Every structure is written in C-alpha cells, then in structure tokens.
Structure 1
Amino acid sequence: MSERSALGTSDHLTVQDERHPRRIHYCTDGHGPVTVMFEAGLGKSRSTWALAQPLVARFARTVVYDRAGLGRSDATVAPRTFGALLRDHLTVLDTVVSGPCILVGHSYGGPIVRRAAAERPEKVAGIVLVDEVSELAGADLLRRAMGGAGALYGAQVWLARLGLLGQVLRRTYFRALEGEALREAVAESGRVGAAKAARSEWQNMIPGMHDLEATGPHIPAVTLTEITSKRSRTAEEFDNDFIYQSHRATAAAVADGRHVSSHSRDHYIQLVEPELVAAEIRRLSDLSHIRFSA
C-alpha cells in the first residue's frame, strides 16, 4: 500500500546516480484534465507547497516532489548544480506527468521550470512563476543581494546537528503551517542531510545563474504568469527593484504573459497568499484545457 503525506499519496521513482541507485520521492493528489507539477525554491522540499497544493488539487491532478537530500528523497554526493536539478525535474516530469501540464516554480524553481518547459514543449501548456530568481536580474546582482546566504546555509547545518533546526524552521519558513503538514516539514527539513543538501544547492546556485545569463534568457513560448512579492511601494522603488523588473520583462516577452503582484512583501507567497497562487494556476488550467480540447 502506498504511503500518505499531507500533500497526497507518496511514491518513489529510482534513478541511477553515478554507481548507485537513488530514489526520488513524489506525491500525487487530485483529479482533472490538467496536471500541475510544483518545483520548490532553493534548499526547500515539497512542504513549501503545503497550503497552495490542496487548493489546486480541487480542480487538477497535482504532483509535488523532493529534490535529492530534501524531504523524503535520497541524498547524493554529487554537487547540486543547476543541471543536476533540471535532470531530476525532467525525470519526474517524464515519468509521473502525462497529457497537458502546468509547471509552477518558486524562487530558484522558476528557472528550472522555464528550462523544463523549453525541453518539453509538447507537454507543458503553461507556467506560473512565484517570486522567481531569474537570470534576467543578473547573476552578480543576485549574488550581492544574497550576500548572507552562505552563512545562513552553513548555520543551518550546525543547527541541524544540535537538533535545533526544525524548531527554527517552525517559527520562520513554516510558521503558516499546522497539523500533519507542519510535522512533516519540521521533521524532514530539520535533518542534517537536508541542511547539507540545501547548502550544496546554494553553493552551486550563482555559478548556475551565470551560465543561464550567458546562454539566455530562457523564456519558453508558453502561456506564462509571473507573481511578484510586493517589496516596493513607490514608483522609484519599483524602478530600482531588479527582481520586479526581471519578472516584468519575462512576462512581456511572451504573447500570453501576465504579471501580478502579491499583497505582502513575503518571498514565500505560496505560504502567505496560497489563494492567489491557486487562482493563477486555475486561470492557466482553464486556458490550457480549452486549448488542448480544441
């Protein structure tokens, strides 16, 4: 019998990692004419979708998964480069998803789903990007803006070794969760292995963004929505917000692009305003169903 998670029915698929097999954990839930597959941000598991995914499962089949070393997926000693993350994403997409699908990516998951859509144009009908980090913002600007991230991810490893990381995450990233979703997020994300996997993703993020910037921009020709955290208040602040400007440029680059802002300044829009994220996914789901039924 399949296991259960707060985000649906759990299962695993196996990939060959160097000389050893490795399991990738995923969950499915819901029914509908369109499948929605979610990609988490840097160093985060499926649990960041624990509020938005159940809303989407009311009208679509949903797929969430854990990258290597995160959540319930096996760890790997291989560096967590952008290419490695993309390969895992495509493995899940090819194996678990059929028919028209919408890809949803948060933060560093944004460029992953954009690249995946370009790799699988026959399958991907639309993209929702939730406060993504984009090569259009510039890798060097992102590096400076995230200057303290290295210390943060290093500190998380030590907190995990002391058995304290789970409680820190309970009061920060996962403060909006409750019940089984909260228990899973704290138990799984508080492990030493998860903290090391997150640190490896960070160590390889800026080089990956440099590569994307040099070869991009990577904007697939599909219906696309950018959701931006409302960090700015004045016209001048919006002009200087390079993240906001990168989102606006991405939405403008496709024929059916849409750019919306959240009500809050929080980067984790899907945990603060899950209804907004679900509504944008529903809009693309309706459009995709019409297009694929025609």
Structure 2
Amino acid sequence: MRDAPGRRLAVNGRTVYVEQSGPEQPDHDGAWVVFEAGAGCGRTCWDTVRPLLADQARLITYDRAGRVRTGPLSTPLTVDGMADDLVALVEALVPGDFVLVAHSMGGLVARRAAERLRTRVRGLLLIDTLPETSPIYDDDSWARTTRQVDRMLAVAQALSRLRLFGRLFSANVRPHYPADAYETMLAEDFTPAGTAQTRREMRALAAALPSFRTDPPEPPTCPTILLSAARPAGGRERQHALTRDHQRRYVETLPHGRYESVDSAHLIHAEQPALVAARIRELLTS
C-alpha cells in the first residue's frame, strides 16, 4: 500500500511532501484528483481510497508544510497560507482541470483554494466539512472548545513520546487502515512532532474563522458533493444535529450542490472508502 513515490516540493518559500500514484497519463482529460487532509492528518489518511482509484486517475496526496516529512516551518501557519500552498502545488503538478477532495478542516483550505483556481476545479468533494456559518463556531463556545482541545493535545503531545500512548491515541484509526499505512501514521502523526503540528493547524483554524465569516470564499460553481457523517461522537448528539443542519444549508446555497448522509463517524473516507471513491468517479465524469 505505501508504494507511492514521494518527494518534497517547494511552495511559497517552504515545502510540502507530495506522493503521486495512478497512471502517469490518465485515459481522459481531467482524470486528476488532489486530496486535502483534515487537521492532524497527512497523506496516509487517503490510503483507504487510493487503491480504489489507482487505474482510473492520477492521484496526488500530500503533507502540509510543518509535518514530519516537509521539514520545519519557515513562516507561520494560516488557513490562507495552506490554501496558497495547495494552489501552488496544483499549478506545479496538475496540467489541466481536476477533482478536489477535502476532509473536515481541509474543506476550508480547499474552498479558499478553489476560489482562486476557479474553473480548473471540475468537481469538489467535501467530506464532513463544517461551514463557517455554524453556531458551533460562535465566538464564546468555539473559544472554549479550542482551549479544551489544545489542553488535551498538549497532554497527548507529552505522552506520545511513548509508543504505547501513540497506539492508544490512534485506536479509532487502526481498524480501518492497512498495517503499513497505520505504522506510518504512528511514526509520523501520533508523535510529539505530529501532535505539535495538529495544535498549530487547530490554532490556524480558530484564527481564520472570523475572516471566513466576514469574507467567505466564493461559492464553487462546479458540481459539489458534501458527505455528512450520520453517527455522532458519544454525548455530542445535539451539536452533531446542528452540524448536519448547517452542512445541508450550505450545500443548498450552491448552484450544483448535493448533500448526502453517510452511515459513518467523522472519518468517512476510512469507514466508507468505496462510497468516497464512487463519488470521486462521479465528479470525474460530470
């Protein structure tokens, strides 16, 4: 599974780590797919989906600047900066139009990048992305949530020096991934350095929300599918219902948007990779 060749790519004065797989010359124009991971995740989170598309499209997965394989950050991490990096990556590697796939926080990065890439994005698949209009992001409640999450991640960062705790923190991931993909995650993501990067990404998200609310990205005009996780985390049923309501409302504002409920928790691409691959194929041929 972990057979995709990788290399560092210079973007905007820093680097990302990119892996490419699938046919080098796709059978038809636009058979390119670029993946944007959620907060705390890198290229390996798509290892459940890649094999299902390996003979149909050229696939690009990558680690954002600041992750283990990219080297240290040279500039502060922001959502707009991540979007700039994604745009630069596309301009360097993708010759024409493509399908953009993004999970969770990566959806905000992808939407900002799509605003700049415009007609090059032939389809957009948002996997359990929460629109900035959700009341969950209201100032007081989100500030408390951000502080709580950061405190938990600080503890995880310290404890993950011991491999045993890395396995404990990744217990929800392990059942869904091939052994080599999981071991790569364990070595790169569930470590002090990986957790420090997750904290930076979460802080960047919190800092970006006010500007997203006052100046949101232009609505994508390409076909857009939003997959919404139907299964809430324990004790978060009310918040989860609000999330799904605002996901649906956001998609209904788009000229070619579609909302789809999926029997899964938040990591839909891990639990339901065949469905995710099917929606990508649909966007490739739309």
TM-score by length of 1: 0.85
Q: Bigger CA drift: 5-14 or 217-226? A: 5-14
Question: Aligned equivalents of 2:211 and 2:164: distance in 1?
Answer: 35
Question: Identity of aligned pairs, percent?
Answer: 27
3-state DSSP class of the match of 1:227?
A: strand
- CA shift at 1:157, angstroms? 1.3
Aligned to 2:35: 38
Within the candidate set 12, 27, 36, 2:8 is matched to 12
CA contact (8 A) 2:170 2:190 kept: no
Q: How does 1:128-139 map to 2 (within 5 A)?
A: 128-138=125-135, 139=137
Q: CA separation of 1:144/1:104 partners in 2, compared to 1, >3 Å: closer, same or farther?
A: farther
- CA shift at 1:23, angstroms? 2.9
1:269 aligns with 2:242: no
CA contact (8 A) 1:98 1:123 kept: no
1:27 aligns with 2:16: no
CA contact (8 A) 2:125 2:226 kept: yes
Question: Aligned equivalents of 1:70 and 1:134: distance in 2?
Answer: 25
- Amino acid of the structure 2 residue aligned with 1:167: R
Aligned to 1:290: none
- Amino acid of the structure 2 residue aligned with 1:280: R
Question: Aligned equivalents of 1:281 and 1:238: distance in 2?
Answer: 30
- Amino acid of the structure 2 residue aligned with 1:178: P
Post-superposition Cα deviations, 1:183-231, rounded to whole Å, max 9, x if no partner, equal 2111111332221111111122112112101112642211100000003
Cα RMSD, aligned residues only:
2.3
3-state DSSP class of the match of 2:6?
A: strand
Aligned to 1:292: none
CA contact (8 A) 1:7 1:53 kept: no
- CA shift at 1:43, angstroms? 1.8
Question: Aligned equivalents of 1:205 and 1:56: distance in 2?
Answer: 30
Q: How does 1:236-275 map to 2 (within 5 A)?
A: 241-264=241-264, 266-275=265-274
Aligned to 2:230: 230
- CA shift at 1:241, angstroms? 2.0
Aligned to 1:167: 167
- CA shift at 1:277, angstroms? 0.9
- CA shift at 1:239, angstroms? 10
- Amino acid of the structure 1 residue aligned with 2:16: I
Q: Provide the aligned length of Structure 1 versus Structure 2.
A: 274
Q: Bigger CA drift: 163-172 or 36-45? A: 163-172
Question: Aligned equivalents of 1:57 and 1:143: distance in 2?
Answer: 41
Aligned to 2:283: 284
Q: Bigger CA drift: 43-52 or 99-108? A: 43-52
CA contact (8 A) 1:238 1:245 kept: no
- CA shift at 1:238, angstroms? 8.6
3-state DSSP class of the match of 1:231?
A: coil
CA contact (8 A) 1:169 1:186 kept: no
Question: Aligned equivalents of 1:58 and 1:83: distance in 2?
Answer: 33
Aligned to 2:153: 153
Post-superposition Cα deviations, 1:27-86, rounded to whole Å, max 9, x if no partner, equal 111133311100000121112111012212232111000012225222215332212211
Unaligned ranges ≥5, structure 2: none
TM-score by length of 2: 0.87
Q: CA separation of 1:56/1:246 partners in 2, compared to 1, >3 Å: closer, same or farther?
A: farther
Aligned to 1:182: 182
1:108 aligns with 2:105: yes
- CA shift at 1:283, angstroms? 0.7
